[in-house]
Structure 1
Amino acid sequence: MARHAMTELPPLVSTEWLAVHLGDPDLVILEASIFLDTKNASGRPEFRSGLDAFEGDGRLPQSRFADLFFDYSDASATLPFTRPQRSQFIESATRSGIAATTTLVIFDRLVGQWAARLWWLFKTFGHQRVAVLDGGFKKWSSEGRQIETGQIWPHLPEKYQNLWDGLLLASKQDVEKIVLGEDRAALVCLLPEDDFTGAVSARQRAGHIPGSVNLPFKTLLDPRTNALLPPDQLRAAFEAVVPLDGRKIVTYCGGGIASTLGALALSVIGYGNAAEYDGSLAEWVEDTSLPMETGPAKPLR
């Protein structure tokens, strides 16, 4: 029996925890890195899979690569990185060698937003034992811990079965109800301040969803290690912009990636009434009937 089989798994695990549990029979480690190339032949910023880095630059011991481009995103959707349908998710988890009882630890080589995205996906499909590695590859490698190179060992598929979905998931219709005042919930945008206010924007309509408050996702991180701030500091960061009074909190960003880091942080502090808007502004701004606001946030009551 695995040493952690009878214990609760928090949403965030430390490098020390993972080092102790390497080799546990029900543990699977997944890398979920995606890079943004700003210099390429097209002249436009483009996302790039982290598979090359996983294969060539070393990786965490016994880890596997999770393809967020195709396997864990809906390839038929018009928006990139859209949550997959249940059937596709089950097929991808099966190919990754993950069972419903697997203890899953996810990391990336950036600041944790892609690991948080995959963590959120598994949570929305009801996977119980899934966590993000705090600080990811940067913290693990900077501590001089084992890095695996060379041959990538194959793994056997597992027939994945999940029980339910819906946790941590908000739709465009849910957000519309919040904007109209039909749902007493709070919208928290994880974009940088200049993007939130509309001073800069890469989208066809600048600004934010009306009634939102701003909490840039990088303010939740320790820049030295890429680890999330301690829970008391995370709580203080949220309380500075939104009352943590039990109301539903919906996080969003430009494309549903950074906002999952906000959902993860809320889970770390034990705030249970939270969800993430998967389509985020990429979906919202495409519907010209939906309003946008510019300028600073208005205080929430």
Structure 2
Amino acid sequence: MTGFVHPEYLVETDWLAQHLNDVVVLDCTIHLIPDPKITYVIKPGREDFEKSHIPGAQFCDVSRDVSDTAQKLNFMRQKPEDFAAAMRRFGISNSTRVVTYSTANVWWATRVWWLLREFGHDNAAVLNGGFQKWQRENRPVETGPGKPRPAGEFTVREVRNLMVGKDAVKAAIGDAGVCTLNALLSAQHTGTGGNSYGRPGRIAGSVNVPAASLVDPETNTFLPPDELRRRLGAVGALDRPVIAYCGGGIAASADAMILTMLGHQDVKVYDASLSEWAKDPSLPMETG
């Protein structure tokens, strides 16, 4: 982890294996099943979890446990009191060390990490390599539902306002002092392929560093810090305030987390992202 300003936000499988009794582990897996009519169908990974999970882990349904289900859009940030109640149900208190992971894409784990950060909890980390690496190393697993923990005493002591709405994004268009960063795949950025959230393409003026490009496809671990710095620096994301977005504020959290680990102090996530922007014809988009 040499090269990160904040290496503490990522833990390795060796470390977690030695500290399973000292942390609360959350499996944050969600599968998005493509559906041209509605973009995707949300399938929480509870079935995967019950087949196999890290010992002592609990399943966090990102679509319900830590999202505002009263909103029309999926995966929107909860009110602080609702998030705090969810954390208490998982046995998390303000002093608890939390480790998040996924059996799917890493950004489900980074999304929950970002929410913890949004609500003032800095004692959380993402498992580097996720469950894929844990299994590959033949580490112990459990089956069945997660074992319930005694309720925690989590309270929101600070709201950092790390999520922004469309007005902040609109204000950044044409402003060379702000980097609007798209974490979707390059084909989605150019409007030539992949899931579309309404109109194809990107928010006008935005640049692209796909969240998937931050991870080594063979090991599922994040790339070395110097390479991450190079990729994000190449689009001007290191020396300007950043607003990261994607389809629904999920993949964007991976870009946002890595920027934070590299020492960036002004990173926000557009929570509604293209799920809102692409459906509103008054909001400018580009293709190509």
TM-score (norm. length: structure 1):
0.88
Aligned match of 2:179: 186
Look up the equivalent residue of 1:262 and give its one-letter code: D
- The CA deviation at 1:243 is 5.1
Question: Of the candidates 44, 49, 61, which is equivalent to residue 49 of structure 1?
Answer: 44
What's the secondary structure of 1:23's corresponding residue?
helix
Q: Which residue of 2 aligns with 1:265?
A: 258
Moved over 3 A (4+): 42-45
Q: Which amino acid letter does the alignment assign opposite residue 34 of structure 1?
A: I
Q: 1:124 to 1:151 in 2, by over 3 A?
A: closer
Shift of 1:231: 0.8
Structure 2 stretches lacking a partner, 5+ long: 1-5
Q: How many pairs does the alignment contain? A: 281
- In the alignment, does 2:72 pair up with 1:78? yes
Is contact 1:98-1:159 (8 Å) kept? Answer: yes
1:254-288 per-residue CA deviation (whole Å, 9 max, x = no partner) reads: 11111111111112222222111111111112332
Structure 1 residue 285 corresponds to structure 2 residue 275: no
The answer to whether structure 1 residue 249 and structure 2 residue 247 are counterparts is: no
Shift of 1:167: 4.7
Identity of aligned residues (%): 38
Structure 1 residue ranges without an equivalent (≥5): 1-7, 296-301
Task: Pick 1 or 2: higher relative contact order, CA cutoff 8 A, min separation 6.
Answer: 2
Structure index of larger Rg: 1
Note the 1:1-301 alignment, pairs <5 A.
10-24=8-22, 27-38=23-34, 45-55=40-50, 57-150=51-144, 152-181=146-175, 184-200=177-193, 202-242=196-236, 244-245=238-239, 247-295=240-288
Partner deviation per Cα, 1:55-108 (whole Å, 9 max, x = no partner) = 1x2110111111212111001101001111112111111111111111000000
TM-score under structure 2 length normalisation: 0.92
Deviations 1:132-189 (A, max 9, x none): 00111001110111112256422111122121112532222211110153x8210110
Distance 1:217 1:73 in 2: 21
Compare 192-201 and 210-219 and name the one that shifted more.
192-201
Aligned to 1:299: none
Opposite residue 41 of structure 2, the aligned amino acid is E
Q: Structure 2 counterpart of 1:158, which letter?
A: G
